[in-house]
Every structure is written in C-alpha cells, then in structure tokens.
Amino acid sequence: MQQLTSQENEWNGQNSSNELLILSSSTGHRFMQFFAETLADCFEIDIVTVGELMVMEDERISVLAGSMDGKPIGEFDYQACVTPCIEVIQTAQPKVLLKDVRNTYTKDNLFSDQNILSYIGFPLTNQEGDPIGLVQASWRREIDQEEADHVLETIGLFVARLSAELVTLHAMRILSALVEGSDLTGNLDALRLLTEQMQTALKVRVAFVSECIAGDDSCFRLLAYCQDGKLLPQAEGKIIPYKGTPCIHLENDDVFFVRTELQEAFPEQRQNKKHGLVSYLGLNIRDETGQVIGHLALQHDRELLDRTLKTDLFKLFSARMKLELRKYHAEQQHLTDSTLPADTRAEPSPLPETTAKEITQKLALMQDHVTHLANCLENGAEPLISADLQALRRDLAATQELLL
C-alpha cells in the first residue's frame, strides 16, 4: 500500500507536472511514446505498448509505441489470438489478469520469454465505438486489484486522446496514399495501392476491384485483390462468372449487401467457408456516360453494417477508385484503338486543358495538406487536424466532380 501511494504521488505530484505538460503539447507517435514511458515509470510496469489493430486472417497488433524496462521499444507486430489482447479487441472492454499470465497464454513468446505474470489491456476505439487498437501493460510480478484499478483509472484519463491520435495517424497514412497514388505510372499501380489501403483502412478481410468485360456480361475480370493485408498477384486478370457470386446482384442494384450469411446464400463459393468470410458489400463503378465499367467489393469475417457506406473513408476510397478505374478504362481503350487500322479508330476525347490543369492543381494542394500534417506531427506542433482533413476531403470531392 505504501508503494502504491508513492506511485500515485509520482503521477500526481510536482514531478509529474512537467510530464503532463509534455504530454499535452505532444502529438502523434511522440505523444504515444511519451505516454507509454511515463505510465511505465510511474507504476513500475515492465512493458507498456500502444498498438493498432490490423485485420488479417489471424488478427495482429502493430505496436506503434512502447517501453520495456525503461527503454523505448521499436515498432513490431504480434498475433493477438495467442494473447489476452484478443479479448480486449473482441469485447472492446478492459481486461485484467492479476497473476499466472505466462502459464495461461503459453503460446505467446513475449510473455514466456519475459516471464510475465500480470496484465492489463485497455481498448482504443473510433467514434463509432469499434476497437482500433489497445494499450497493454504487463509485469514480471503479480499485482493486486487496487493497483490494477489505479492503472486503469490513469489510462482512462488519456484513452480518448490516445484513440484520437491513433485515428489521426491512420487517416494520415490513408490520405497520403490517396494523394500519392496519382503519381504512380503503371496502369494498375494506383488500383493496387487503393485496394491494399482500402482493406487496411476499413479493417476488413478482403477488398478487390474488377472491370466489366466488353462483349461478355456473364463474367468480370479481377484487377486488384487484397486479402489479410497482402495483395494477391495471382488473382489479377482472373475471369470470374457472376453466377453463384453476390456480385451478380450488381446487375440490378448499384449497391448490394450480404450482412452475415454469405456462405449460406452462395454455397458455390467454397473460399468463403475456407477463410471464414460471412459478409459482403459490392458497389458499381460507372463511367462519365453512366455505363457500369466495374465494381469494388469488401468481404469480412464479421457483420458488415450499413454505416460502412456512410463513413468518410469509404466515400473517399470509392470516389478515388472510380477516378482510377475510369483512367485505367480509358488507357485500355486507347491501347485497343492503337492496334486498329487508322480509319476504324475511335477519336480520343482527352480532358480539356483547363480541366486537366485544375485537377493537377488540386492534387498538388492535397499533397501540400498531407505534407503539412506530417511535418506538424513529426515536429510536435499542434496541427488543425479536423480542418485539414475536411479540406482534403473537399479537394478530393472537387477533383472527382471535374471528371464527371
């Protein structure tokens, strides 16, 4: 009890005022790292980490900041399913283990190697309440409930800020990819990047984009396919019949949902059962004339909710995917026309010079916003996160409008 009182005084006393000042003025990785080090120091915690959830076949935690034995931990990731962290993520509730952690979670190498006996996990969530990461603290000694309660209370004071910083860092990576994708030179490079980032950003198991096949409305061609954090080159170019798949419903509807019973509704798709996929969201992509030229789709091992369609990230990705698929479609048409005799080629319809100039300017402006945000976070300055993200969204929407 005397030791615990000393720890409380350390957190709340004069020595902590400077630490709290640094915390309040820090952002991004710097904030997370200083929080981890301060928490570890004040409560004599052997290991503290702040991690982000990565949705893969075996859900993983990517450690962004941490402290072990008073020293910073480099970034790494680990399997959540062999640790108590999986329960924190699945329930979005704190998890406390006062003793015997090493013997309970025998498959976790870190717990075994470091002789970990006690553990606390605290979820980090987004605005919708979905878990996006966690703070974990672990000791090489047993702790009592009173000590655990004080640690939980302290983490609780900062959990909203930690969650907000994690959301911001996540959004920064995504927005940067959305902007930088315009500089990629290969026909499929931008589509690959967007598909990979969409799977990661929306935290689903599968994301893919496809194109319609001229002269054959019974099949579609996969252009980019990302599953469990990995692009699958072997899937690119594969011809898939609409029949027997949920994509067939996009013939009549621009949006199609299967919320929880994908395997039962489409038993022919054996890969869904193999990978435990139970839900589907498909969205048609149209060209400037309103003709469907392809679709994007998401699949997951949990329920996909209608609100996915309404999230800013999904709107950003679908708008950018539409832009890039139109560009790819135009490039393919140009290649086809170039192989035809001159008198049978379709006349090209390039963007008006003024429109192309506006698009270039807006993409450059978006890159400036991303660079400004990154510099602010790196230098510990206080960026206007909300205003900058809104500006980026407006610029991307405006760019899309120029292509309509």
The mean pLDDT of 101-112, rounded to a whole number, is 89
Q: Identify the domain boundary among 347, 373, 394.
A: 347
Domain containing 190 equals 185-347
What is the pLDDT at residue 370? 63
- Number of Cβ atoms within 10 Å of the Cβ of 183: 10
For the chain, what is the domain count? Answer: 3
Q: Identify the domain boundary among 319, 347, 375.
A: 347
Q: Identify the domain boundary among 169, 204, 220.
A: 169
Q: Is residue 78 part of a domain?
A: yes
Q: Is residue 82 part of a domain?
A: yes
341 and 365 both lie in a single domain: no
Strands (E) in 291-398, as ranges, are 292-300
What is the pLDDT at residue 319? 85
CA distance 127 to 88: 17
195 and 143 both lie in a single domain: no
139 and 239 both lie in a single domain: no
Question: Considering only CA atoms, which of 205, 253, 208, 258 is closest in space to residue 229?
Answer: 205
The mean pLDDT of 175-194, rounded to a whole number, is 68
Q: Who wins on pLDDT, 126 or 67?
A: 67
Q: Is residue 62 part of a domain?
A: yes
343 and 325 both lie in a single domain: yes
- Please report, in angstroms and rounded to a whole number, the separation of the first and last CA atoms in the chain: 68
Taking the CA atoms of residue 39, residue 42, residue 47 and residue 52 in that order, the dihedral angle to the nearest 10 degrees is: 0
Q: Is residue 215 part of a domain?
A: yes
The mean pLDDT of 56-83, rounded to a whole number, is 87
Sorted by sequence, the CB contacts under 8 Å of residue 344 that are 6+ apart come out as: none
3-state secondary structure of 297: strand
What phi, psi does 188 have (nearest 5°)? -100, -5
CA distance 334 to 209: 21
Contacts 24+ apart (CB under 8 A), 291-295: 292/212, 292/250, 293/211, 293/212, 293/325, 293/326, 293/329, 294/209, 294/210, 294/211, 294/212, 294/220, 294/223, 294/325, 294/329, 295/209, 295/210, 295/220, 295/247, 295/250
Please determine, for residue 371, whether its predicted confidence score (pLDDT) is greater than 70: no
The mean pLDDT of 231-248, rounded to a whole number, is 94
Helices (H) and strands (E) in the chain, counts: 14, 14
399 and 323 both lie in a single domain: no
71 and 140 both lie in a single domain: yes
Q: Is residue 174 part of a domain?
A: no
**Highest averaged pLDDT of the listed ranges 207-216, 322-331, 352-361:** 207-216
What pTM does this model have?
0.63
Query: 257-294: per-residue pLDDT in tens?
Result: 999 999 999 998 999 999 999 999 999 999 888 899 99
Q: Is residue 296 part of a domain?
A: yes
Sorted by sequence, the CB contacts under 8 Å of residue 27 that are 6+ apart come out as: 165, 168, 376, 377, 380, 381, 382, 383
164 and 195 both lie in a single domain: no
**Highest averaged pLDDT of the listed ranges 3-7, 265-269, 391-395:** 265-269
The mean pLDDT of 15-43, rounded to a whole number, is 76
Q: Is residue 179 part of a domain?
A: no
Q: Is residue 255 part of a domain?
A: yes
Q: Who wins on pLDDT, 248 or 331?
A: 248
Helix axes 353-379, 145-180, angle to 10 degrees: 150
Q: Are 354 and 212 in contact (CB under 8 A)?
A: no
11 and 133 both lie in a single domain: yes
395 and 327 both lie in a single domain: no
**CATH number for the domain harbouring residue 64:** 3.30.450.40
Q: Who wins on pLDDT, 250 or 383?
A: 250
What is the pLDDT at residue 347? 47
146 and 60 both lie in a single domain: yes
Sorted by sequence, the CB contacts under 8 Å of residue 58 that are 6+ apart come out as: 79, 80, 81
CA distance 217 to 78: 44
386 and 318 both lie in a single domain: no
340 and 360 both lie in a single domain: no
User: Do you know the residue count of the chain?
Assistant: 404
CA distance 283 to 295: 5
